[in-house]
């Protein structure tokens, strides 16, 4: 009985942040953008959500005038309504509130957004969806006073159908956004990046047919490079089988398949004269999927990625990952990055550095990054914010992590650039944590068995010989790639001794050094032994790079990090001032000395390293 009660409570908890299946490739569909200025109200006590008995307004039979989602207007001079969105200030969506409003710089809590909209050429036979690229962290979404649903997770897309509540004119959407940190969330209370709150990515309305293409996956078979495999899933109240046409004009492919009664069909078809996507030749093909009433177009690259012993093979050839880690910030504008222009700056700098690989840390970045990486020939590591320590034994917490993982895989599974799914970063070892991460890895392989799995683990020195570094982590047996962060010379050890350290790795798997680095204030110059100077950071790079190159299984590195980024943990008023200074580029876009050291190293690196 106790177990049933626990399960019931869990289901209720999960239902509270459930949303509808994610639409695939909204990127290429035409929609109505709701980007622009939205009115907002700061609600420190959440008075617009709870009544004075702490009962949610949207769960009471007769919510009072204090329920913000109703967008209430006083109908007489005697009616009391204690808010009015139309007189409230505005801010830009997409965007975070921290960088837009000085008084909200450190704010963590609830803020309500409101936007009025019309639907041109409104067609009552179509289905209307409201899609969000991301909202940090909890989003309660209402349209015309009706709740569509709740989403948790600050970096993944979600959507709700609103067909039954919208009309051609005079609609309004209200979103309650709450970015408070909590011990049972993903990420948890403590991170090393800024907790930007707000509607941080695009908001779009999509008008779709009664039955439409909801999801699809098309990739080169992992073992057979003459076969494209995948599936198509339709959404609708159709009865019986429906025909789907898949075309790749440049390859003279035109396949017709029929879905089952549930609207699903697996696809496998041969392909000839295919030019494979790679970092050296990022070839993309136009792919068109169509039914009688719907059509979706995409640009997809086809490639194979696998491991063989200690090597990573891209299309059967050994590849060395010359990488850099990146946080999702715009260094020129400040705040959370969100646009294609932001992506071009960050990935352009990675290319200038000589990279063929980027680690998108420590959460799913904007879809622009993966789309642009496809075009630029950059291999991509994506991860979810299972970061440091979370509640490993909390089933609800696990479900939140798995949900974010599912959402980013659903969004990016057709991107050739994405080769690695990462389960976590620097998490402390325990049996509970091992179970948690192993479940995530199993779920990932079920969702997508064509890519590689890893996690950023940690190394340490042996007690009997601190110069010998080891990775003693049971999760290393689960992953395809053994990745670990190492900060010898910065967090322990001395730069002078870096040349004497070596690694003993007993796994016949590829190794990626997922992080190393040192902090430096751009423009601060001193001798090489002075911490925080550009010279000291550069010295650490010059000593670390040749030492790492001696690891026999080394298949890549992604030093920490491309650009300085905001972090409340970094409080030294002279050298940090709220910034993590391990970037090779400053927050003003200036390159530090170590940038050129890594650039020169990558110029000399060959795939046989």
- Least trusted range by pLDDT, from 8-17, 39-48, 295-304, 582-591: 8-17
Digit-coded pLDDT (tens) for 469-523: 999 999 999 999 999 999 999 999 999 999 999 999 999 999 999 999 999 999 9
Digit-coded pLDDT (tens) for 182-228: 999 999 999 999 999 999 999 999 999 999 999 999 999 999 999 99
Minimal CA–CA distance to 14: which of 400, 405, 401?
400
- Angle separating helix axes 395-412 and 2-15, nearest 10 degrees: 40
Is the Cβ–Cβ distance between 424 and 389 less than 8 Å?
no
Distance between CA atoms of 373 and 448, rounded to whole angstroms?
Answer: 19
Angle formed at CA 449 by CA 276 and CA 605, multiple of 5 degrees: 50
Q: Cα separations (Å) of 149 from 175, 258, 408, 485?
A: 10, 33, 19, 39
| Local confidence band at 606 (pLDDT 50, 70, 90 cut-offs) | low
Instruction: Output DSSP code: residue 214.
Output: E
| Three-state SS letters, 417-428 | CEEEEEEEECCC
Judged by phi (left if over 0) then psi (alpha if -120 to 50, else beta), residue 279 lies in: alpha
Q: pLDDT value at position 98?
A: 97
Q: What is the mean pLDDT of the chain?
A: 94
* Residue 535 φ then ψ, to 5°: -65, -40
* Domains 213-303 and 315-604 are alike in CATH topology: no
Q: pLDDT value at position 608?
A: 47
| Local confidence band at 607 (pLDDT 50, 70, 90 cut-offs) | very low
Q: Strand 452-458 to strand 460-461: parallel, antiparallel, or no bridges (unpaired)?
A: unpaired
Instruction: Decide which of 65 and 371 is more confident.
Output: 371
CATH topology (fold) of 315-604:
TIM Barrel (3.20.20)
Query: What 3-state DSSP class applies to 596?
Result: helix
Minimal CA–CA distance to 580: which of 495, 493, 487?
487
Distance between CA atoms of 511 and 546, rounded to whole angstroms?
Answer: 15
Q: Cα separations (Å) of 543 from 488, 558, 581?
A: 10, 16, 19
* Residue 538 φ then ψ, to 5°: -65, -40
Other beta carbons within 10 Å of 163: 14
Digit-coded pLDDT (tens) for 427-436: 999 999 999 9
Domain boundaries, the chain: 2-208, 213-303, 315-604
Rg of the chain on CA atoms, in Å: 25
Digit-coded pLDDT (tens) for 361-390: 999 999 999 999 999 999 999 999 999 999
Is the Cβ–Cβ distance between 112 and 177 less than 8 Å?
yes
Architecture of domain 213-303: Sandwich (2.60)
Query: What 3-state DSSP class applies to 493?
Result: coil
Digit-coded pLDDT (tens) for 281-294: 999 999 999 999 99
Q: pLDDT value at position 19?
A: 59
Angle formed at CA 414 by CA 347 and CA 353, multiple of 5 degrees: 15
Q: Is the pLDDT of residue 103 over 50?
A: yes
Distance between CA atoms of 543 and 522, rounded to whole angstroms?
Answer: 20
| Local confidence band at 1 (pLDDT 50, 70, 90 cut-offs) | very low
Q: Is the pLDDT of residue 164 over 70?
A: yes
Beta pairing partners, 116? 172
Minimal CA–CA distance to 347: which of 147, 563, 530?
563
Minimal CA–CA distance to 129: which of 169, 166, 160?
160
| Local confidence band at 17 (pLDDT 50, 70, 90 cut-offs) | very low
Is the Cβ–Cβ distance between 61 and 126 less than 8 Å?
no
Torsion over CA: 461, 327, 557, 316 (sign): positive
Q: pLDDT value at position 609?
A: 53
Distance between CA atoms of 60 and 36, rounded to whole angstroms?
Answer: 32
Strand order in the sheet with 203-208: 32-33, 203-208, 127-132, 158-161
Q: pLDDT value at position 334?
A: 82
Query: What 3-state DSSP class applies to 181?
Result: coil
Q: Cα separations (Å) of 480 from 14, 419, 451, 607?
A: 30, 11, 9, 19
- Beta strand residue intervals within 462-600, DSSP E: 468-470, 482-485, 502-503, 511-515, 554-557, 565-566, 579-580
Digit-coded pLDDT (tens) for 458-471: 999 999 999 999 99
Q: pLDDT value at position 11?
A: 41
Assigned superfamily of 2-208: Galactose-binding domain-like (2.60.120.260)
Is the Cβ–Cβ distance between 416 and 302 less than 8 Å?
yes
Q: Counting Cβ atoms within 10 Å, is residue 135 exposed (0-12), middle (13-18) or buried (19+)?
A: buried
| Local confidence band at 62 (pLDDT 50, 70, 90 cut-offs) | confident
Is the Cβ–Cβ distance between 453 and 423 less than 8 Å?
yes
Q: Is the pLDDT of residue 6 over 80?
A: no
Distance between CA atoms of 568 and 410, rounded to whole angstroms?
Answer: 32
Digit-coded pLDDT (tens) for 219-262: 999 999 999 999 999 999 877 789 999 999 999 999 999 999 99
How many percent of the chain have pLDDT more than 70? 96
Q: Cα separations (Å) of 467 from 487, 511, 605?
A: 13, 19, 25
Digit-coded pLDDT (tens) for 23-38: 999 999 999 999 999 9
| Local confidence band at 5 (pLDDT 50, 70, 90 cut-offs) | very low
List, as one string, the DSSP characters of 470-492: E---GGGGT-SSEEEE--TTTSS
Q: pLDDT value at position 8?
A: 38
How many percent of the chain have pLDDT more than 90? 92
Distance between CA atoms of 243 and 32, rounded to whole angstroms?
Answer: 28
Q: pLDDT value at position 10?
A: 41
Q: pLDDT value at position 240?
A: 79
């Amino acid at each position: 009985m106790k177990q049933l009660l626990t399960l019931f409570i869990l289901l209720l908890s999960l239902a509270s942040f459930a949303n509808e299946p994610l639409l695939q490739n909204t990127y290429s569909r035409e929609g109505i953008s709701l980007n622009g200025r939205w009115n907002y109200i700061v609600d420190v006590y959440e008075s617009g959500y709870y009544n004075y008995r702490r009962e949610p307004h949207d769960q009471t039979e007769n919510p009072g005038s204090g329920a913000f989602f109703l967008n209430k207007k006083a109908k007489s001079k005697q009616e009391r309504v204690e808010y009015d969105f139309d007189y409230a200030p505005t801010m830009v969506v997409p965007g975070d509130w921290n960088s837009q409003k000085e008084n909200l710089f450190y704010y963590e809590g609830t803020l309500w957004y409101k936007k009025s909209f019309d639907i041109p050429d409104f067609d009552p036979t179509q289905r209307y969806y409201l899609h969000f690229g991301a909202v940090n962290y909890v989003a309660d979404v209402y349209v015309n006073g009706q709740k569509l649903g709740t989403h948790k997770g600050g970096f993944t897309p979600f959507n709700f159908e609103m067909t039954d509540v919208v009309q051609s004119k005079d609609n309004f959407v209200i979103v309650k956004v709450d970015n408070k940190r909590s011990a049972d969330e993903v990420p948890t209370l403590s991170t090393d990046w800024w907790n930007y709150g707000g509607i941080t990515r695009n908001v779009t309305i999509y008008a779709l047919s009664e039955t439409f293409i909801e999801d699809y996956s098309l990739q080169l078979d992992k073992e057979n490079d003459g076969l494209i495999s995948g599936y198509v899933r339709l959404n609708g109240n159709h009865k019986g089988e429906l025909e789907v046409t898949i075309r790749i004009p440049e390859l003279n492919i035109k396949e017709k398949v029929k879905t089952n009664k549930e609207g699903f069909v697996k696809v496998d078809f041969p392909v000839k004269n295919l030019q494979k996507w790679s970092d050296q030749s990022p070839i993309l093909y136009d792919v068109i999927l169509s039914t009688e009433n719907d059509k979706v177009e995409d640009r997809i690259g086809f490639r194979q990625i696998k491991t063989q012993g200690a090597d990573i093979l891209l299309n059967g050839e050994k590849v060395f990952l010359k990488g850099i880690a990146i946080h999702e910030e715009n260094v020129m504008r400040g705040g959370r990055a969100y646009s294609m222009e932001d992506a071009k700056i960050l990935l352009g700098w990675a290319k200038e550095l000589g990279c063929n690989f980027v680690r998108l840390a420590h959460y799913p970045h904007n879809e622009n990054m993966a789309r642009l990486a496809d075009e630029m020939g950059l291999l991509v590591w994506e991860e979810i914010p299972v970061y440091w320590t979370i509640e490993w034994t909390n089933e609800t917490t696990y479900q939140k992590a798995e949900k974010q993982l599912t959402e980013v895989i659903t969004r990016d599974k057709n991107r050739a650039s994405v080769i690695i799914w990462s389960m976590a970063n620097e998490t402390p070892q325990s049996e509970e944590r091992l179970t948690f991460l192993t479940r995530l890895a199993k779920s990932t392989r079920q969702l997508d068995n064509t890519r590689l799995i890893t996690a950023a683990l940690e190394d340490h020195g042996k007690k009997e010989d601190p110069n010998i570094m080891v990775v003693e982590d049971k999760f290393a047996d689960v992953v395809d790639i053994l990745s670990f962060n190492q900060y010898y010379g910065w967090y322990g050890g001395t730069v002078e001794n870096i040349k004497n350290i070596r690694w003993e790795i007993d796994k016949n798997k590829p190794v990626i050094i997922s992080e190393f680095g040192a902090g430096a204030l751009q423009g601060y110059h001193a001798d090489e032994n002075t911490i925080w100077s550009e010279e000291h950071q550069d010295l650490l790079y010059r000593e670390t790079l040749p030492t790492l190159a001696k690891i026999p299984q080394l298949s890549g590195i992604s030093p920490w990090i491309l650009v300085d980024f905001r972090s409340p943990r970094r409080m030294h008023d002279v050298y940090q001032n709220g910034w993590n200074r391990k970037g090779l580029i400053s927050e003003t876009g200036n390159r530090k000395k170590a940038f050129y050291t890594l650039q020169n190293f990558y110029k000399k690196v060959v795939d046989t390293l």
